[in-house]
Amino acid sequence: MSDVTMEKIISLAKRRGFVYPGSEIYGGLSGTWDYGPLGVELKNNVKQLWWRTMVQERDDMLGIDAAILMNAEVWKASGHVEGFSDPLVECVKCKRRFRADQVGDTCPECSGAFGGVRQFNMMFKTQVGAVPENEAAAVYLRPETAGGIFVNFKNIVDSFHPKLPFGIAQIGKAFRNEIAPRDFVFRSREFEQMEIEYFVRPAEWEDFFEKWRGIQLQFAERIGLSPERIHQIEVAPADRAHYSKRSIDTEFDFPFGQKELWGLAYRSDFDLSAHTNASGTDLSYLDDAAKEKFLPHVIEPTFGLDRTILAIITSAYTEDELGPSSAEASEGKGEKRVYLKFPFAVAPIKAAIFPLLKNKPELVAKAREVYLALKNDVPQIMWDDNGNIGKRYRRQDEIGTPYCVTIDFDTLGENAELLDTVTVRDRDTGEQERIAIAELKARLF
């Protein structure tokens, strides 16, 4: 494992347009982050891969996209109004507030004493409707996407009649008024979740719990997370969420320590039962095969997208020196470099296309032709004619582009045998290969 630090990741993420601090020119807003042009591509690639693997490639899954604002009764029934809180302490001297489990006995700012511990509810509250504030209906921004899945359970069963076991998946924003947002996008106040509620017959929960545990590991491999940084940990009963009867966290060795990346919970019939009682709508399921009506039980694999992005960048971050066999090193250009070793599927840019020199119109015209033809099929490619070739390689390495394609004088036929061929340089090895333009698409993508 390379010794990547948070300083290196945050600086690269900002410099290269992956992630910026939220509202930066106004001094920022704690716990918010904005994804830049490369960050949004990376994030979209992960979401698409997740949706494809978890929903589209399976025939036991259905997707939804529910509203972020929900009737406040949803969160009363789910136990969040009552119990979704963290312990808070306030310094009697400077009045600063901290999460009780993250500080010692005295204030880290002024050494003052703390008052008693109280519970701080993490849901953001707002109002709906153009009425005076005190009369408006209070609602919450959803603290987990799961709520939208449970309240649509009956809609989905009525529209699609899925047979058990089946799952409902959703990707979307969640909001938590964290007492102490920290560690870049790891703990923020607005973040994205990719969640599945998988409905099973009560007696079968253990089988499916194990299956989803395995699927989470497979997904980690698919997006390039270093296997030696992944740990699946049984959560002690006292530390489980209020709705869970068993939980396994997938933890990851982030630069600031081993911390929760994803969760897996056995939510039993906690939610369907609570929503049946509170809404008065019967959410039980009629099992045609067994001729029984019952509340299915739920296995919930949940994937925080922002933590996933941080884990992908941490795993991909590599510092090395191009080896003596690489063409660049043998030309005397072997130098230390930083690169992101993204798997092809998540790389924000799949290839960069360069004219060798930007002041030769015939090279630029040919390179433009290659670029436009490829871009039609592979939109995530980039044109780059800034600085010399070495600088372009370093820049593309730093954003994790797997291939750099250079159009040079041989492409134009200076060496007749090489007419209509280009050099393709591999990000990880620095090796260059000559490939016919006609073969580029099939060879690279």
User: Which residues are at the interface with ligand GAP (CB under 6 A)?
Assistant: 144, 146, 176, 178, 187-188, 191, 193, 195, 260-263, 300, 302, 304, 306-307
As measured in angstroms, the least distance from the Cβ of 40 to ligand GAP is 17
CB of 219 to ligand GAP, least distance (A): 13
Nearest-approach distance from CB 108 to ligand GAP, in angstroms: 21
Rounded CA gap, 212 and 227, in Å? 17
Cβ-based neighbours of 296, under 8 Å, separated by 6 or more: 164, 199, 200, 201, 202, 269, 272, 285
- In angstroms, what is the minimal distance from the CB of 244 to ligand GAP? 9
Q: State how far the Cα of 206 lies from the Cα of 197, in Å rounded to an integer.
A: 15
Tokens of 241: 């969420």
CA distances (Å), origin 91, targets 109, 136, 418, 441: 9, 34, 73, 62
Give least dist CB 250 to ligand GAP, A.
8
Tell the smallest beta-carbon distance from residue 314 to ligand GAP (Å).
14
For the chain, what is the HEC assignment?
CCCCCHHHHHHHHHHCCCEEECCHHHCCCCCCEEECHHHHHHHHHHHHHHHHHHHHCCCCEEEECCCCEECHHHHHHCCHHHHCEEEEEEECCCCCEEEHHHCCCECCCCCCEECCCEEEECCCEEEECCCCCCCCEEEEECCCCHHHHHHCHHHHHHHHCCCCCEEEEEEEEEECCCCCCECHHHECCEEEEEEEEEEECHHHHHHHHHHHHHHHHHHHHHCCCCHHHEEEEECCHHHCCCCCCEEEEEEEEECCEEEEEEEEEEEECHHHHHHHHHHCCCCCEEECCCCEEECCEEEEEEEEHHHHHHHHHHHHEEEEECCCCCHHHHHHHCCEEEEECCCCCCCCCCEEEEECCCCCHHHHHHHHHHHHHHHHHCCCEEECCCCCHHHHHHHHHHCCCCEEEEECCCCCCCCHHHCCEEEEEECCCCCEEEEEHHHHHHHHC
Smallest gap, in angstroms, from Cβ of residue 193 to ligand GAP? 5
Rounded least distance, CB 176 to ligand GAP, Å: 5
Comparing CB distances to ligand GAP, the nearer of 197 and 410 is 197
Closer CB to ligand GAP, residue 302 or residue 401? 302
Would the CA dihedral through 184, 186, 189, 191 be positive or negative?
A: positive
224 or 263: whose CB is closer to ligand GAP?
263
Q: Which is nearer to ligand GAP, 73 or 86 (CB)?
A: 86
Choose between 270 and 339: whose C-beta lies nearer to ligand GAP. Answer: 270
Residue nearest to ligand GAP (CB): 304
Closer residue to ligand GAP, CB minimum distance, 65 or 417: 65
Smallest distance from ligand GAP to CB 161, Å: 26
Q: In terms of CB distance, is 254 or 393 closer to ligand GAP?
A: 254
Angle between helices 6-15 and 305-316 (to 10 degrees): 100
Q: Which is nearer to ligand GAP, 263 or 348 (CB)?
A: 263
- State which residue, 146 or 407, has the beta carbon closest to ligand GAP: 146
Q: Is the peptide bond before 165 cis (omega within 30 degrees of 0)?
A: yes
Q: Which is nearer to ligand GAP, 193 or 396 (CB)?
A: 193
Nearest distance, CB of residue 42 and ligand GAP, angstroms = 16
Nearer to ligand GAP, 181 or 430 (CB): 181
Give the nearest distance from C-beta 195 to ligand GAP in angstroms. 5
Closest CB 299 distance from ligand GAP, rounded Å: 12
Q: Which is nearer to ligand GAP, 124 or 409 (CB)?
A: 124
